[in-house]
Amino acid sequence: MVNKKTVWGVANIALRLLVICLAVAALTALVYAVTKDPIAEGERARKEDAIRLIFTEADHFTEDTSIVFDGANAVYAVFGANGTQLGYCVDYTGNSDYGGAVNMMIGVGVDGKVSGLQVISHAETFIDRYLDDNSRYTGIDKAYGADLSAGATMSYHAIRNAIDTVETAFSAGVGGAK
Amino acid sequence: MKKLLRQLKEGILDNNPTLVQLLGMCPTLATTTSVKNAVGMGLAATAVLIFSNLFVSLLRKFIPKQVRIAAYIVIISGFVTMVELLMKAFLFSLYESLGIFIPLIVVNCIILARAEAFASKNKPLPSAIDGLAMGLGFTFALLLVATVREIIGNGSFLGVSLFGDGYAPALLLVMPAGAFLTLGFVIAAVQKIRNVKEDQARVEKLSVVEAKEAKKEETV
């Protein structure tokens, strides 16, 4: 038979741990409330900057909700000053299996080919070696290669897989290729 | 005031968590490729150390000893999440360059060690000061290693080129192997400086003993 004292002892420990968890959660929630808007604003600004870095002649862009495929958070149709469509920008989240999600903005020309890639956010350690000072991926035309440094290969593959997925989606008649 | 200064000296020099206690080696090796990253990581860990020590100390009589490690981890991971959110909101480029190592502050053994060894046994103010001292000590160690690695391995300091285009940087130092080598030499140098007084005392003692023995031999 279970001793009442033992049960109360275990319940007491569990309750105290619960109180500690709740206190920490409340503090975290407070910090989240303070940082939520600056984080969202920063993300929005970085995405807009990425689109303008990929299509330097871009004048305006609108979200195209008709194009949907796995990994694509949003697809933007990008237009020049005279209203001609320059291409699309895909807000894409890939996974590297190392640092987790890699958020990218991938530019696709009207021919359906990837024309530029900006890394917006990541938690990779080695990804910078593939990017220039503007977080721009510089190896779009290069073939696959393996980097023997730990993690680097995974970061690299996250980018290459994203390019493949987007090119496949657009070559299948979606968006610019149609 | 004296106690405060002694605690600070203890954390930064005499009992430095990285260079003397050899704790927190993983972030030391991984984030010291540049001075900017080292300072960022050091200050982030310092903030977590101060607040987790303070929180653990405030709750030291409330935390059941059977689950104290779990409670410390909850507290530490909460503060790491807060630091991560604040960095993401206000210091995004640093947040990106530190990458996976920010969440890994949770498992930094310096923080857990100070919670267990100091904060759980002391009042809130000394515990917060201990967190500050140990955090500054950790930052100081990261700064030493990163300065050597960035200057020799990249030819720059805080991203500013020091030797011009003609300089061929010793890339080994910014690679993982260079991190181990630099850390080893920095620890050796710091230990040497720390031991100078002890060494002098030992030499003096030896010379006194030798002089006594020589005198004995002369009388014999």
B84-111 pLDDT, tens digit per residue, is 999 999 988 888 778 778 888 888 889 9
Instruction: Give the number of domains in chain A.
Output: 1
Instruction: Give the number of domains in chain B.
Output: 1
Q: Which of A118-127, B13-22, B49-58, B94-103 is predicted with the least confidence, judged by mean pLDDT?
A: A118-127
Residue A178 has pLDDT above 50, yes or no: no
Cα separation, A122 vs A101, whole angstroms: 6
Choice between B97 and B68, residue whose per-residue pLDDT is larger? B68
CB-based contact A121 B81, cutoff 8 Å:
no
Residue A151 has pLDDT above 60, yes or no: no
Cα separation, B65 vs A9, whole angstroms: 12
The average pLDDT across A133-142 equals 65
- The C-alpha of B27 sits at a distance from chain A's nearest C-alpha, in angstroms, of 12
**The pLDDT value given to residue A83:** 86
Q: Chain A residue closest to B95 (CA)?
A: A123
Q: Which domain holds residue A106?
A: 51-177
For the stretch A45-85, pLDDT in tens is 888 888 998 898 888 999 988 888 888 899 999 998 888 99
CB-based contact B88 A28, cutoff 8 Å:
no
Site of tokens 């759980």: B120
Would residue B213 count as lying in a domain?
A: no
C-alpha distances in Å from residue B144, one per residue of A117, A146, B30, B39: 36, 33, 14, 10
Query: In A, what residues contact B, Cβ < 8 A?
Result: 12-13, 16-17, 19-21, 24-25, 27-28, 31-32, 34-35, 38-39, 42, 46, 98-100, 121-125, 128
Q: Which residues does B84 contact at the CB level (< 8 Å), separation at least 6?
A: B95, B102, B103
Q: What is the DSSP string of B16-27?
A: -TTTTS---HHH
CB-based contact A24 B74, cutoff 8 Å:
yes
**The pLDDT value given to residue B211:** 85
Would residue A113 count as lying in a domain?
A: yes
Choice between B49 and B206, residue whose per-residue pLDDT is larger? B49
> Would the CA dihedral through B55, B58, B62, B66 be positive or negative?
positive
**Is B41 within 8 Å of B141 (Cβ atoms)?**
no
Site of tokens 């100390």: B57
Least CB-CB distance to B86: which of A16, A35, A42? A35
The average pLDDT across A151-158 equals 64
Would residue A18 count as lying in a domain?
A: no
Would residue B139 count as lying in a domain?
A: yes
Cα separation, B110 vs B18, whole angstroms: 8
Q: Which residues does A78 contact at the CB level (< 8 Å), separation at least 6?
A: A51, A55, A58, A61, A85, A86, A87, A88, A89, A107
Q: What whole-number percentage of chain B has pLDDT above 70?
A: 100
Strand extents, DSSP E, chain B: 156-157, 160-161
- The C-alpha of A161 sits at a distance from chain B's nearest C-alpha, in angstroms, of 21
For the stretch A96-136, pLDDT in tens is 766 678 888 999 988 888 888 888 877 776 566 666 666 67
Would residue A6 count as lying in a domain?
A: no
Site of tokens 């004995």: B216
Q: What is the mean pLDDT of chain B?
A: 89
Would residue A93 count as lying in a domain?
A: yes
Choice between A122 and B76, residue whose per-residue pLDDT is larger? B76
Residue A141 has pLDDT above 70, yes or no: no
Stated pTM of the model: 0.75
Q: Which domain holds residue B21?
A: 2-200
**Is A75 within 8 Å of A175 (Cβ atoms)?**
yes
Tell which of A8, A17, A104, A134 to mutate to test the B interface (max B CBs under 10 Å): A17
Cα separation, A66 vs B40, whole angstroms: 43
The average pLDDT across B124-140 equals 94
Residue numbers in B near A25 (CB within 8 A): 78
Would residue A32 count as lying in a domain?
A: no
Residue numbers in A near B67 (CB within 8 A): 13, 16-17
As for the ipTM of the complex, it is 0.74
Cα separation, A69 vs A173, whole angstroms: 12
Q: What whole-number percentage of chain B has pLDDT above 90?
A: 49
The average pLDDT across B22-50 equals 90
Would residue A68 count as lying in a domain?
A: yes
Rg (CA), chain A: 23
Residue B119 has pLDDT above 90, yes or no: yes
The residues that bridge with A62 in the sheet, in sequence order, are A77
